[in-house]
Amino acid sequence: MYLTTAQEMRDLDRYAIETIGIPGVVLMENAGKAVARSLTDRLPRPGTALVLAGTGNNGGDGFVAARHLAAAGWKAVVWLAGPEEKLTSDARVFFQVCRNLGIPVVRDAEERRGELIRRIEEADAIVDALLGTGIRGQVRPRALELIRLVNEHRRGAVVAVDVPSGADTDTGALLPEAIRADWTVTFAYPKWCHYLLPAADHCGEVIVADIGIPRSAAEHRPPAARVNDPSWWREWLLPRSRWSHKGTYGHLLVVGGSRGMLGAAVLAGLAGLRIGAGLSTVAVPAAQEPILAAKVTDALVWGWPDDGEGRFAEDSVRILPERIDRFTAAAVGPGLGRFPGEGAWLRELLETLPFPVVLDADGLNILAEHPDALRARRGETILTPHPGEMARLAGTTAAGVESSRHTLAREWAEKTGSVVVLKGTHTIIAFPDGTQMVNPTGTPAMAKAGSGDVLSGVIGGLLARGIPASVAAAMGVYLHGLAGELAVRTSEHSLLASEILSQLGAALSRLASDRARA
């Protein structure tokens, strides 16, 4: 499924209306009907509905919803937040229909404040059809007042039409306040604000309703972003051939695991195997090797020259050519730590590795101080920063990253030619061609040390299997999130990264059984 900006959605609407010839009022009818339906599905006993309608097409959807609610036995009242003369032509059609049916339409005015508050308090359901994707700039004072009154006085359910009024569709910013909805019904495709904070936190559950915009509209000019669902990459998950052997599935090299951080490299190495790589070698500073060998039975271990302190020696990469031909991909960074000479070390390592690399954790922190380390890469590269690491890379703060997640991820993918996986709730995967994906899987239970190390190993393992970087990133992030969801058996507070690891197989088989059902 695609994910659109306000402009992309306008283009799709226009294509459906002008090129395909579907009348705008048909789309509006379908949109408003879907909103009313979402309400009657959730609240089967009819009550009082207050529809706050603006004068744009978002308001038009509201008039349609009011009519369908009235038909379902609800006592629907429309509160019109602007002069009739400003109604768009499509909205005007359904405004008139409401009038003809005798559905009360109250014109908003400051002196009706008391009445409005009473209606908000008494409503079993409020339909927020004030502002949709057509909002321009900060919300004007009167509309802001309405938004605040709803948030303050509502007692019943609140459904947002398309987007919560007051949210910026493209950035998820509040302008400066938005309706707090229990659910949001959006049309054709989700919008960025359904995934980006703070707006995402105002949407409640997001329902995507088909309003009759044919698929060919998006095929004609595809939006730049997509929701990361398996339909984009499922065909890469082939069953293992009966005639295959471990070499068929590649060999992952994990580089990390300095003193005190061995667990991170182990998680990555095992995750590579769990996701299907044939072999996995964990390369650590030599002093760590005996401990690692005692700890790990499923992966191979390799000690690299040590600096005497349980960290990599500055010139330790020289050992790599001895065995480099064995590997097909690398995950660099889990438990790597910081050490003297790290910049030159990373540059040499990334230059020497001829195959795809996923760079994570302190690998990214070193890169932030030595951006030229990527310059001599020969294979594909995937960067997997969490917001703190992204902040270091971009020279900003974690809060700065969170307020511009998709822009930063896109810029960094374009600038570095790498796939950027910006982690968090709804991880963003940005590709060098400017397109992006937003991930739907995962759980706050995964906000725990070690989760990221499992992800590096998962993506590394998929790369090792010969899956292209863009697919490995999307598939890896999806499966990692799904495994996390499946691993929450008891309390969401208690999940361990090793349990995500154990559920990777369940996540893979869930995909396989979904495919069988499809």
Enumerate the known binding-site residues for AMP: 423-427, 452
Cβ-contact 40, 245 below 8 angstroms: no
The structure tokens 């994910």 sit at: 3
432 binds ligand NAX (CB under 6 A): no
Interaction mask 51-70, ligand NAX, x per CB under 6 A: ---xxxxxxxx---------
442 contact, one of ligand NAX, ligand ADP, K ion, none, CB 5-8 Å limit per kind: ligand ADP
Would you say 184 or 451 has its CB closer to ligand ADP? 451
CB of 174 to ligand ADP, least distance (A): 20
Would you say 161 or 488 has its CB closer to ligand ADP? 488
424 binds ligand ADP (CB under 6 A): yes
135 binds ligand NAX (CB under 6 A): yes
Which string of b and e fits 326-338 if b means at least 16 CB within 10 Å? ebbbbbbbbbbbe
134 binds ligand NAX (CB under 6 A): yes
Of the residues 132, 190, 257, 310, which one makes contact with ligand NAX according to CB under 6 A: 132
Q: Contacts with K ion: how many residues (CB under 5 A)?
A: 4
128 binds K ion (CB under 5 A): yes
Would you say 133 or 258 has its CB closer to ligand NAX? 133
306 contact, one of ligand NAX, ligand ADP, K ion, none, CB 5-8 Å limit per kind: none
Task: Output the residue with the shortest Cβ distance to ligand ADP.
Answer: 452
Would you say 166 or 432 has its CB closer to ligand NAX? 166
Q: Which residues are annotated as a binding site for K(+)?
A: 58, 128, 165
What is the DSSP secondary-structure string of 273-303? HHTT-SEEEEEEEGGGHHHHHHH-SSSEEEE
CB of 78 to ligand NAX, least distance (A): 14
Cα→Cα distances 306→230, 256, 311, 409, 467, Å: 42, 12, 6, 35, 33
Task: Provide the edge-to-edge strand list for the sheet that holds 105-107.
Answer: 105-107, 75-80, 48-53, 125-129, 157-161, 183-187, 205-209
Q: Which two tokens stand for residue 270?
A: 């095992």
CB of 169 to ligand NAX, least distance (A): 8
Residues 145-164 that bind K ion (CB under 5 A): 160-161
423 binds ligand ADP (CB under 6 A): yes
CA gap 308, 224 in Å, rounded: 49
CB of 37 to ligand ADP, least distance (A): 29
Would you say 44 or 137 has its CB closer to ligand NAX? 137
Closest CA to 237 of 479, 59, 26: 479
13 contact, one of ligand NAX, K ion, ligand ADP, none, CB 5-8 Å limit per kind: ligand NAX
CA gap 71, 49 in Å, rounded: 12
307 binds ligand NAX (CB under 6 A): no
Cα→Cα distances 392→13, 208, 323, 332, 344, Å: 40, 36, 33, 18, 19
Cβ-contact 57, 93 below 8 angstroms: no
Residues 211-250 that bind ligand NAX (CB under 6 A): 211
CB of 303 to K ion, least distance (A): 60
CA gap 491, 260 in Å, rounded: 28
- Tell me the window of 99-107, 249-257, 349-357, 420-428 that interacts with ligand ADP (CB under 6 A): 420-428
Would you say 51 or 254 has its CB closer to K ion? 51
CA gap 324, 304 in Å, rounded: 13
498 binds ligand ADP (CB under 6 A): no
Q: Which two tokens stand for residue 507?
A: 């996540």
Interaction mask 380-419, ligand ADP, x per CB under 6 A: ------x---------------------------------
Cα→Cα distances 303→20, 184, 257, 292, Å: 64, 54, 10, 9
Torsion angle of the four alpha carbons 35, 41, 42, 47, in this order, in degrees rounded to the nearest 10: 80
What is the DSSP secondary-structure string of 221-241? S--SEEE--GGGTGGG-PPPP
Q: Which two tokens stand for residue 169?
A: 């569709």
CB of 81 to ligand NAX, least distance (A): 8
Residues 437-496 that bind ligand ADP (CB under 6 A): 442-444, 446-447, 449-453, 455, 480
Closest CA to 126 of 153, 91, 154: 154
339 binds ligand NAX (CB under 6 A): no
For 299-411, where are the E strands, in sequence order? Answer: 300-304, 329-332, 357-359, 381-383
The 3-class SS string of 129-157 reads: ECCCCCCCCCCCHHHHHHHHHHHHHCCCE
Cβ-contact 84, 57 below 8 angstroms: no
Of the residues 161, 207, 454, 472, which one makes contact with ligand NAX according to CB under 6 A: 161
Q: Contacts with ligand NAX: how many residues (CB under 6 A)?
A: 31
CB of 261 to ligand ADP, least distance (A): 10
Which residues are near K ion by CB under 5 A?
128, 160-161, 165
Which residues are near ligand NAX by CB under 6 A?
13, 24, 27-28, 31, 54-61, 82, 86, 88, 131-140, 143, 161-162, 187, 211
Which residues are near ligand ADP by CB under 6 A?
361, 386, 423-425, 427, 442-444, 446-447, 449-453, 455, 480
